Amino acid sequence: MSKTTTSRTPAEIRAAILNPELYAGPREPGEPLDPSKRAFGGEFRCWDARADLEALLCPLAQRDGISRALQHVLRTAWEEPDAENTLRAERALRDAANAAGREDPLANRLHQAAQALPYHAAAFGSSDAAAWCSARSLDLAWTLLSSGHDIGGGWLALRAALLWASDAQEDLTDVKYKPRPNFDRLSAFDMKALGLARAFAAIAKAEEMVRDEDAILRGGAGAAAGGTPPPDYLPGLEDDLPSLGALIDAGRPKAPAARPASAGRVVLRSLQHLPKPAIHAKERRDSPRAEFEPIEGRALPLLPAPDPHRFVQEGAAKAPWLRPVFETIAQDLVGAPYAWTRPTALVSRPGTGKTAAIRAIAQGLGLPVRIYSAAGSADGSFGGTSRQWSNGRGSVPLQTALLEGVATFLVGIDEVEKASPDRRNGSLTDTLLPFLERESAQALFDPYVEAPVDLSAVSYLVTANSMDGVPGPLRDRLRILEVPAPGPEHLPVVAANLVAEIRAERGLDATWLPDLAGDELALLGRHWKGGSLRPLRRIVETLLAGRDRLAPRH
Q: How far apart are the first and last CA of the chain?
A: 81
With contact defined as beta carbons under 8 Å apart, do 61 and 74 qualify? yes
pLDDT class for 229, splitting at 50, 70, 90? very low
The CA distance from 246 to 256, in Å, is 18
469 phi-psi bin (left φ>0, alpha ψ -120 to 50, beta other): alpha
Residue 432: partners with Cβ closer than 8 Å, 6 or more residues away: 382, 383, 413, 460, 474, 477
pLDDT cut 70: percent of the chain above it: 82
Exposed / middle / buried, residue 390 (Cβ in 10 Å: 0-12, 13-18, 19+): exposed
When mean pLDDT is compared across 98-107, 182-191, 202-211, 244-253, the lowest value belongs to: 244-253
- 88 pLDDT exceeds 70? yes
pLDDT tens per residue, range 312-363: 988 888 888 888 899 999 989 988 899 999 999 999 888 888 888 999 999 9
pLDDT class for 552, splitting at 50, 70, 90? low
Residue 206 CB coordination number (10 Å): 11
The CA distance from 340 to 233, in Å, is 33
Residues belonging to the chain: 554
Ranges assigned E (strand) in 39-178:
none
- 236 pLDDT exceeds 60? no
pLDDT tens per residue, range 379-437: 888 999 887 766 788 999 999 999 999 999 999 999 999 988 877 778 899 999 999 99
Query: Tell me, what's the pLDDT at 12?
Result: 72
pLDDT tens per residue, range 443-475: 999 999 999 999 999 999 999 998 888 998 999
With contact defined as beta carbons under 8 Å apart, do 502 and 544 qualify? yes
Residue 295 CB coordination number (10 Å): 21
Q: pLDDT: is 279 or 396 the higher one? A: 396
What's the mean pLDDT in 158-174?
80
Nearest Cα to 264, choosing from 375, 408, 143?
408
Query: Tell me, what's the pLDDT at 462?
Result: 95
CATH homologous superfamily of 308-482 equals P-loop containing nucleotide triphosphate hydrolases (3.40.50.300)
pLDDT class for 4, splitting at 50, 70, 90? very low
Query: Tell me, what's the pLDDT at 390?
Result: 63
Alpha helices, DSSP H only, in 254-353?
279-284, 288-292, 308-318, 323-330
When mean pLDDT is compared across 135-139, 210-214, 450-454, 537-541, the lowest value belongs to: 210-214
Q: pLDDT: is 275 or 195 the higher one? A: 275
When mean pLDDT is compared across 165-174, 344-353, 466-475, 495-504, the lowest value belongs to: 165-174
Strands 299-300 and 265-266, by their bridges, are antiparallel
The CA distance from 399 to 405, in Å, is 10
Q: How high is the mean pLDDT of the chain?
A: 81
Give the SS3 label for residue 8.
coil
The CA distance from 398 to 220, in Å, is 73
DSSP string, 455-493: -TT-EEEEEES-STTS-HHHHHTSEEEEPPPP-GGGHHH
With contact defined as beta carbons under 8 Å apart, do 114 and 90 qualify? yes
Give the SS3 label for residue 69.
helix
- 222 pLDDT exceeds 50? no
The 3-state secondary structure of 415-450 reads CHHHCCCCCECECHHHHHHHHCCHHHHCCEEECCCC
When mean pLDDT is compared across 140-154, 217-231, 286-300, 483-497, the lowest value belongs to: 217-231
Query: Tell me, what's the pLDDT at 193?
Result: 67
